Amino acid sequence: MASFFLCDAGMSIISLCYFIPSILIHSVNSRTEAVLNYFMLFYNIFWYTEIVHIALMAFNRFVCIVYPVYYTPFFSAARTSLLLFLSYALGFAITLPTLFPTCYVLWDSQYYVPEYAVPDTW
């Protein structure tokens, strides 16, 4: 649960400190690749990791209800720690392509959506 909270808190902090102010003042900084790429990188890592956490929690509950005999060996402390590490690794792996200049994801405060970098800048 603490890891799930970390993902939620990270996404909330980025939203409150960057996305909402850029919407309110229609900041030109929201189109700057260097600054926003890191915000979007961490936001996407937290987003995809949280999705994997939700899937793992559903699987955890499924095993607990349908196969209670296998619950204790399958969700031991060591295996649960490994699954949490793998969920962060998967979140980073999915977000990894956005580190390349042709895949920058920018926040467009005018339209309230993330978009890829302008193709003219490639």
- Taking residues 51-75, report their average pLDDT: 91
Q: Is 106 exposed, middle or buried (0-12, 13-18, 19+ CB in 10 A)?
A: buried
DSSP symbol at 104: -
pTM: 0.71
- Domain of residue 19, residue span: 2-121
Number of domains in the chain: 1
Distance (Å, whole) CA 55 – CA 122: 36
Residue 84 vs residues 2, 25, 65: alpha-carbon distances, Å: 11, 38, 21
| Per-residue pLDDT tens over the stretch 8-49 | 788 778 777 776 676 666 655 555 555 556 777 888 888 889
pLDDT band at 65 (very low <50, low <70, confident <90, very high): very high
Contact 86, 32 (CB under 8 A): no
Contact 50, 7 (CB under 8 A): yes
